[in-house]
Each structure stands twice: as C-alpha cells, then as structure tokens.
A and B are shown apart, each in its own frame.
Chain A
Amino acid sequence: MRLDNPYFTRRKFLNSLLGGWLGAVAASFISPIVKFVWPPYKEPDEVKLVFADYSGMQPGEVKNFVWGVKPGLLKRAQDGSFIAMVGVCTHLDCNVQWMPDKKQFFCACHDGWYDENGTNIAGPPPKPLRRLETSVEGEDLFVRKPGVGATT
C-alpha cells in the first residue's frame, strides 16, 4: 500500500536497514582490533632469585633485582629479614634510587622522597612504594606479589 504522505518512506527504511547493517558489520570488527591494540601483559606473580647473591647483605643495605620489566628494591631489615619493594615512584612512574648516605629513596623526576621503609615523606608522591613479599626457600629467595602465595 502506498500512503500519500508517508512519514517513513520505503527509501528511508531501506537506507536505515543498509546503514544499520553496515554499522553492525563495522562494529563487529572493533572488538578484535581493540584486543590486539591493548596487549595482554601480566606483571609476574613471583620472581626467583639466588639467595646466595643477597645473603651477604648487611642490615640496612639495599640491592636491586629485576621485577618483570621494572626494577625491584630489596632491603635487609635490622632483624635480618628482607623487605622487597617495586622501585617505581608512585607519582608518575619514574624509577627511584637508593641514597645510602641519606637512607632514603629518591625520585629525580619530580623530587620525590621516601624513607628507608618506602613511606613517602616529601615531594609529590601520593603513596608509599609498593611492597612485595619475600621468602627464603632453600637456595632460593622468592619475591611475590602480596596474597599470591607459593606457586611451586
């Protein structure tokens, strides 16, 4: 039936059908593209270090280790235990460094300071350095994300 003054013409209907279909086809390609562009990456749950490399550390000494693609900081506490932190500033992600004479961690990017336990004390950092858990198991020194627990 043909209306004299149709609000929605056959042409309009077919145009939106074709347009909508093309849009849906295009949209179905977006998800795989997005998944490809944002790559899957997981921070390590744990890293295994050779305990002998760190067993000689004096209390208060700080050494670096590799935590995935970031530096990790390992500190020997006064009681001989290890404290592990991710050596990345909580402000804007720059790598921090240990200043042995000041007994503080320092970020050169925006002048951020942390005390020897990784607590933010001066400058722009909003949070303490991220803590990791440590455990000595035989010959190995494990550094783990908190709450992950032993996987081996």
Chain B
Amino acid sequence: MKINMKKFADWFDDRLALTPIFKYMTHKEVPQHEHSIWYYTGSSILLFLFIQIITGIMLALYYQPTLEGATSSIERIMTELPLGWLVRSVHSWTATFMIAFVMIHLLAIWFTKSYRKPREATWMTGMMLLVVSMMFGFTGYLLPWDDLSLAATKVGTNIPAAIPVVGKWVTQFLRGGDDVTGDTLTRFFIFHVCLMPLIIFAVLAVHILLVQKEGMSVPLKDELAKKKVPSLPFWPNFVLREVVIWLLLFGILLTISLAFAPSLGPTADLMAPAPEGVKPEWYFLFLFQTLKIFPANMGPVTGEFVAVLIIVITVVIIFFLPFIDNKPETKKGKVFTYLGVIGVVYAIVFSIWSLL
C-alpha cells in the first residue's frame, strides 16, 4: 500500500493549523552584526534544558527521596546502573553550564541594552527564568543528602527567615516545618521534578513567544541611525550554525563530565556538627560571601537582615531595569553599563574571596 504523505500532512494541518508557524520559521531573519554571537546563548540554554530533562527523568527512575534511600539510591545509580555515574555527572555539569549560560545571556543583553523598549517583558521573564534556574540548582543540591548538601540547605533555607513578618513562613514552607528533616528532602524533590518544571515551562513559553513577537534586537547605534542591518534566514542558515554550536558544547560538556564526575559524601546526619568547608554551588558563592562579611548586629537589626535586604532590593532593581534605564543612549544609560561592570567584578571578587 502506498501512503500518500501529502494527504497525511494535510489532514494534520487541517486539524492543527501549524502551517503559519512553519512559514514564520522560514521567513524569520536573524540580523548579522558584531554582537550576533550572543544570539546563540539563548538556544544553548535550551540545549542544556533539554539535556537536564532527559538525564533528570533517567535519574528519577531510580532515585528515592527519603532519609534512608537518598544517598544509597544515588550510590546504586553510580555503581550498579550502566553508565549511571555518567548520567549523574552530565546532569550535575549541565546544571553548571546552564546557569553559566543564563548569566552570560543576561550580561550580553545588559551590555547591548537589548532590554530597551519594546523588550521589557522579555527581560522580566528572563529574570524569572534566572531565579527559577538557580532554584533548580538549589533544590537539586540537597537531593544527594550528604553532609555538605545538608549544611548548605540549612543555611540557604534559613536566609528568608531574616525578612520580618513573612520570612519565617517562607522558611517553614521550604523546609516543611521549623527544621530541615526528611520532609524537606521529599519537598525539595517535588519542587525539583514537578513544581519548578511547570513554572519554567510556563515562563519559558512566554519568553520565547515574546522573542518571536518582537524579533531579534539590533545594536543600539544601528537602531538610532535607522541603519538596515544585514540578516541571515533563520531556517536553514541560522539553525545550521546553532547545531554546530550545540554539538561543540555537548562535546565539551561530555568531556568534562567524563573527567570530573561528582563525588558523594557520607549520608547526612541531622545530629552531626556542620562539616568544615561548607560551600554552596559556585553560583551562590558571592551571595554566601556577602552574608559572611556582615557583622552579627547592626544597630537594632541583625546584619543578616541588612544583607538580605540589600540582595532583595538589588534583584528587584535588576528585574525592573528596562524601566529604570529607559534612555539607554544617554549618559544615564552609560551609568547602568558601568553598574553592570561593577556587578560582575563584585561577583567574581567575592566568589574568589569565599574560596580563600
């Protein structure tokens, strides 16, 4: 029997009406200029998210989110299951790559000022995605339930408690009680594999839709000069270049995962003293160091409260940056570029300081 593929495709198109989307893809143009390289960071993040979904589902088939089962089930994944150690290693390293690329993506947009009108909402959904990505990292860090991850989670979940009125509530919500217990582990697992994937998909859908709606931004000076920037068709030219970068990144990722697989510490003991050298994941180091330098008490409030307040205000300012930096071509716009540089230097210096 000969299957008429055309008829088959037509039947689907009649029901789903997808042709406009394909048409859009083939007509979409990607501008080419000296900053075009940063366009690839977005699709690289999608690649990492895809790897996280695949490896995450694989790990979840064997992982047990309980006090008794957590560490031993990871031990089993790493020692008994074929290539299990590599699956865990890739999942752990992809988290690092993904967050690094989210940060690069954000900084590229910061310095090219691509968040300017009409892309404010794209920036704000992007900030949400950064926070969700970091929360993925934070909740995932506890799941091995070894001594370091327990101490890091105790500290991390106690930080909101410094905020008056609602803080205690947030801490109890995160921990499933006043203290970090087996309930916290189960809860973090559900956040990590159920709640946050739902959130990231919803926000990401809006983010990508907005990128398609507004098109790619062109450099500020070209926009002001109303210059016509040369462009490349999205399909197939740009996608081909993206695929090359994906394969390259995947190769690097796999090489690093093979060479530096994460270890597994002794099972966490709720009664044991905190181990020496408690450190969060690298992307929280500068916040960790910031908390450390504040004195115990600052007048009527604790130093921790002041530190948390400064961090929260900074995040809120960055979230609303497109509205604050609303004249990017003026002197005011330059100030925000320099603030971005200062922020990067601060994060790097404080991260290195925390490791000394």
Q: Interface residues, chain A, CB within 8 Å of chain B?
A: 37-39, 41, 43, 64, 66, 68-71, 87, 89, 91-97, 106-111, 120, 123-126
Contact = CB atoms under 8 A, between A and B. Distances in A.
Given A69-B181, A69-B270, A93-B158, A108 B278 contact: yes
Contact of B275 (A108, A120, A123): A108
Chain A at the B interface: mostly helix, strand, loop or mixed? Answer: loop
A120 B295 CA distance: 12
A101 B180 CA distance: 30
Given A69-B181, A71-B273, 8 more contacts: A41-B177, A68-B179, A89-B274, A91-B304, A93-B155, A93-B158, A94-B278, A95-B271
B11 interface: no
Contact of A39 (B158, B176, B274): B176
Give the contact-size bracket for chain B: 20 to 34
B273 A96 contact: yes
B294 to A, nearest CB: 7
Contacts of B158: 92-93
A94 B173 CA distance: 18
Contacts of B294: 124
A69 B294 CA distance: 29
Given A38-B172, A93-B154, A109 B274 contact: yes
B169 A38 contact: yes
A94 B271 contact: no
A132 to B, nearest CB: 16
A92 B155 contact: yes
A125 B270 CA distance: 20
Given A92-B304, A94-B278, A109 B151 contact: yes
B276 interface: yes
Given A110-B291, A124-B292, A64 B177 contact: no
Interface centre among B158, B178, B273, B294 (most CB of A within 10 A): B273
Contacts of B340: none
Contacts of B172: 38
Interface in B232-278: 270-278
Nearest to A43: B178
B154 A92 contact: yes
Given A39-B183, A124-B294, A124-B303, A94 B155 contact: yes
